[in-house]
Each structure stands twice: as C-alpha cells, then as structure tokens.
Structure 1
Amino acid sequence: MEPELVDALSLAQELIRAPSVTPDSGGAIGVLGDALRRLGFDVIDLPFGDGAERTPNLFARLGMSGPHLCFAGHTDVVPPGNEGWTSGPFDAAVRGDVLYGRGACDMKGGIAAFVSAVARHLGGGRPLNGSVSLLITGDEEGPATYGTVKVLEWMAANGQIPDFCLVGEPTNPDHMGDVIKIGRRGSLNARIVVHGIQGHVAYPHRADNPVHRLMAILSDVTAHPLDKGSEWFEPSSVQVTSVDVGNEATNIIPGRASARLNIRFNDRHTGKELAHWITEIVRARAPGAEIDIRVSGEAFLTPPTPQLDMLVAAVQQVTGHEPRLDTGGGTSDARFISRYCPVAEFGLVGASMHKVNEHVSVADLRALTDIYAAFIERLMG
C-alpha cells in the first residue's frame, strides 16, 4: 500500500491542540507516533525517569540501510500565559494565512513539516535509499534530564546512531532561508556565596563584610574579555545575573552575600577549564566561600560535511537565498547530539517563539516542508 500524504498544516494543528506544556506530554507524542505508524515507521516509546520526572520520548525509524538521517525535536512547549492571546493558545487557529498557537514555530510546525516531507518522498514513488528516523522528546523546554540525553544513550546501545542529524529548531530570525546553525556556544552557570560576620556599620573592626570580597571576585571575573572570538564564534561573554545580600537595614554589615553569573563560551574554552578559573579567583579572594558551578553544555561546531552542503543547497533551491552558517543564540539539544554525530539546525522563523500569539505563516510551513523534502531527495533520492 502506498503511504498516505501528510498535510503539514493539518498535522501541526493536531499537535498544537495537544497541550504539552512541559513536563506534561499532553498527548502530543501519541499524535506524532500514530502519524508515523501510518507511514510505516517502527515507533518505540521511550519514557525515562520516575514519578514527576517521568519524560515521554519517542524514537521512530523507517528503513535500516545507510545513509541514516535523523530528525530531532521536541513536542513540549513553554506555558502560554493567561493574557493577550487573540485565540486560545491550543486552538491552532488559522487567520489570514497564519497559524497561531503555542508551539507553532517552536517546534511543532517543524516536526509536522518533516513528517510531511517524508510522506511526500515516499508517496512520490522514489525509493528511500537509506533510512530516516525521528528522535523526539517531551523535555527540551524543561531540565532536559530524561529527554534527548537518555534517548541518545539508548540509540548508541542499540546501534541507532545516525550519519547526520537535523534539528528542527526555529533558526531563522526574519525570513525562511536566513540561517543554518552549525554549532552553539557552551553555557556555564555559577553561584558564589561569601560568608562574613554581621555587625554595626559604625564598628567595622568587629565585623567582616562579605560584600566587599564578593565585589572583588566579580571585578576579577569581569575585568578582561575571555577571548576575541574564533573563526565561527563570537567572543565569550561573562554576565553577572544576580547579586543578593538581603539586607534591608542601613546600619548593618551583612553576614552573607551571594551572586550568580553565566558564561556563554566559544570553542576556545571548555566548561572544566572555566570552572577551574572561577574557583581559583574565588579561593584567592574568599577561601571559605561556597561555589556551585554547573555546565549545561559545551561549545560545539559541525565542520563542513557533504550532508551540510546538501542542506545548504536545499535551502537555496526553495528560497533562492544562501543561508548564513551561524553559531549564535542559546543552547539546544544539539549540544547533546554533537557528541555522537554531525548535527545542524534548521527550522522556521523564530521571532514569535515563547511569546503571546506565537505563530507561523502557512507559506513558511509549506516552504519548510519543501526544503526538508529537497534535502531528503538530495541525501537519499
């Protein structure tokens, strides 16, 4: 039986109507699994975690030969908020050739476009000279503990690592065809707590002011740029995000002061090296201070590959624009995938993601489907 065609708009609406506010699956994983089964995919549900942390995930594959292309994404969305929506955030309303709803561009629309592209390829009578899989998690907008990381471990243990992975995050800032992301900066968060001795400001010799030592630490950390950037990355950035004392009085030296900072770092650094650098500064200024440092992702870069060239060509074919290869923005699950195989990101225009009235034009949804279909054809047509 010839596989049925899948309309990207209809599937995107069906996915949006499943209210999968992280960590609640909202039925979205099930909607996607049913659509893939109808196309002939072997679909495996892979929930990980226990209790409130239990995370719905899905791995589906069609074909077993190479090349193996994996599409990665997430069905969970951020909370919609309560005010300002011109229609219900999960109504998936279409007005004036625009689809509105939480997840429309980030990233249920991208998932729908990819499934539609695969269905088109299969329905066009072209052989699938390779295999296609999907790695979908319900925990990208949350802590990402039991999502993509765990599915990748399962894939590695079961011989399912792809030759190339395409992440469908909304990468285009303004227009379709603007940007393909080929890397991301790393991210480090640090919390520093300096303890002192509380006392009266008129008798400083009887107290030990922790604010002064914390200010010295922050001054050392921010005094000089970490680097000037690299070939593909902008300069690393240190940003102090919070300084807290909790002192409402004007005549008390506080006994405790804390700060938080974030470093978005390029490929000239590792999280381990930066953690050591911060620790040395803190120990020099305040030996007894508490330090909690967490690295949520390392910087990574996908060098030029034949698959990346095919993706660029597919974008040019459909949009007429040569996409810029970029490494900016925040983190994504590509940081985990990069440990296993080459990965790039390309999806919809992301200007409205996480906002009230999140939306995508139906024309862009169709264009993304065309791009994904052209990429599949170039890779395994």
Structure 2
Amino acid sequence: MPEQDLPYDSFLLVSFGGPEGPDDVMPFLENVLRGKNVPQERMLEVAEHYQQFGGVSPINEQNRQLITALREEFDRSGVELPIYWGNRNWDPLLPDTLQQMKEDGCKRAIAFFTSIFSSYSGCRQYRENIQAAQDQVGQGAPQVDKVRMGFNHPGFIETVVDEVSSAIEQLGVTTEEIMVLFTAHSIPMSMADHCDYVKQLNEASRLVAGAVDVTNWHLVYQSRSGPPQQPWLEPDVCDAIEHLDDSGKLKKLIIVPIGFVSDHMEVIYDLDDEAAALCEQRGIKMIRVATPGVSPKFVSMVRELVQERLGTPEKRRAVGELGPWHDVCPENCCQYKPQRPAARP
C-alpha cells in the first residue's frame, strides 16, 4: 500500500527540547547553534540565563504535562492513537523516538509541532529534522504528516483572550488605559521575507486585541541571537517599553507571549526577568500572561487538528481573514538560506 494511503496509527509531539540540569546546558546549546552564525559570547550569555534557573528549561516538563493532557483528551474523544514525543535538540531526540516507533510497528503518524506560526525554524526545519531522523532510522521508519498551523484556530485565540481578559481584570482599569505588547521570537529578516510569520502573528494579535476591545497594542519581538550586523525583526520588547514610556503612553502594560505555546527559557528570562525589571525600574505596572501550556481549549485544539486529519470533523475551524492554513506545506514554503554579514573593512 502506498504510504499516503496508510491509516494513521500514532501521534507524534515534536518540540524544541531543553536542558534538565546544569551539565546539559552547553551540550544543548551546541546542538541548537551548530552551523549557525551566532557569536561565542552570545552562546555564553544564553548559557548563563539557563544557569540562573538551575540549568533547567521549563519546556520539557511542560511537554510531559501536555502529553498527559492530550492522552486524557484523546481518550474522551475516541482518538485511539498512541502518543510519542521527539525533540530537535535534546532528549528525547527525534531519531530515537522514530526508532522506537518503528520497533512498535508504527507506519504513519500525525504530528503536532509546539510552534504554530510559519517560519523556517518553526516549521520547515522541523520537517527537515524529521526527514533526517527517518534517514537515520532507515527502512521502515514511519511516515510523519504534520497538522496545519493553529495560529488562528478558535481554541488558540480563545485561550489567549481568556488570559488577557484576566490580566485586564487584575489591573482594574479600562481597556483604553492599557497598552498590550504581543511578543514573539525574533528571526532574521532574510528568514521573515520568505514566510508568513509576521502576517500570522499580526493576524493572531489583531484577533485577540479585538476580542478584548483593546486598541492600544503593538507586535514586538524578543530573544534575537544573531550578530549585530544582521537585520532581525524589530522592535525588541524592552526597546518598545522604553520608547512608549518616554513618549508618555505607558502606565499599565500587559505582555502577551503570543508567539509561544509553552514557556521557554526566552519567555521566563526575557519577559519575567529583563522586561519585568525594566518595568519596575520605570514604575510601570506590568502583567505577563501565561502561555497556553495545557489549558483545556488549547489541548482541545490539538485534538481537533488531529481529528481533521482523521476525517472527523470535516469542518476546518478558523477565525479571522486568513482562513484555515494548508495541511501540506508547498515545496517552496518557509525557505531560508542564512546570510552571512559582510566583513568589516
């Protein structure tokens, strides 16, 4: 039987991975940055961020919690697929997971990536990682098909809306008095120019802001890691806070890490540490809302995206102007060739 006609027999959670102790940090970062034009001093700086938190990233534990929540959600909904988990950069690594799936007799899996905005690093690179893992496993490695991007699925948007609404209530002011900064991981402009990352982020931010009746909002970025000569998406979240405060437009601030579906080190360091310290220094009352994590609506969204590929339900839900994203990525989708900065004279 051709691979595309095989029934789905498993579910694969695909994620970034993170260190789970001090000794893991440098090997993990070497995996992340291998082949990338990132200065050594930047890698050491990021390593120090991890060490401030005991060398442990929150992402692996959050993925374990997501797997538990998905198992319960699948069981309630009659989705009879075993769940596997493979990471790009740290245990459990994708080649090991696909090898286990092969040994368990899995032939074709549905995958959910813990990145729901289109970019090279958030989609195409994961697909390349899966292909490399399949090549390593060899004959009999399972086929893997990913679900569509969920950036405008009501389950995601409503999850973020609930968190922002709660933050507004905590601040105890009207929406006219609030500034909302939606944040996402910055990427090189040469990557952003060949994907729909910014368009999708703007759409998701617009949908959330509209649902909570907030007009004072901006999309900003965080966690850039390239050399200073290389242009990346801007403005940086802390630069934006300073600029808005200097212009007298910032008293109450809500930061929404809309580009992340779970807490990464970038979220807890860049927002809960750096941005929070800046706001405290400037007398700005700030709330950072939670990432979706294992919120029920988000977990239900993942289950629904899986059921789409299984044929039930037939309706592909999405809100806003862009409609449901494609199931199968076009050949030229999210291409990226890193550009080396010009040598200084």
Shorter-chain TM-score range: under 0.3
Decide which structure has greater helix share: 2
Decide which structure has greater strand share: 1
The alignment's TM-score, normalised by the length of structure 1, stands at 0.24
Q: Which has the larger radius of gyration?
A: 1
The alignment's TM-score, normalised by the length of structure 2, stands at 0.25
